[in-house]
Amino acid sequence: MAQVAENVQAESDDGTSLLGSIINDIVYSPLNLILLSVCIYLMYKLFFSKKADDTPSSPPIPRLPPMKKRDMTIEDLRKYDGTNEEGRVCIAVNGKIFDVTKGKHFYGPGGPYAAFAGRDASRGLATFSVEVANEGYDDLSDLNSMQMDSVREWEIQFQEKYHYVGRLLKPNEEPTDYSDEEDASQDQSTQSPTQSSKKDE
For 84-126, write each residue's pLDDT tens digit.
888 899 999 999 999 999 988 988 888 999 989 999 988 888 8
Backbone angles phi, psi at 8, to 5 degrees: -65, -45
> If you ran DSSP here, which 8-state letter would residue 81 be given?
B
> Is the model more confident about 76 or about 24?
76
Residue 197 pLDDT class (50, 70, 90 cuts)? very low
Helix (H) or strand (E) holding 47: helix 30-54
Chain centroid to CA 6? 70
Model pLDDT for residues 123-149, shown as the tens digit of each residue: 888 888 887 656 788 888 888 999 999
Distance CA 105, CA 84 (A): 15
pTM: 0.60
- As a whole number of angstroms, the distance between CA 125 and CA 115 comes to 11
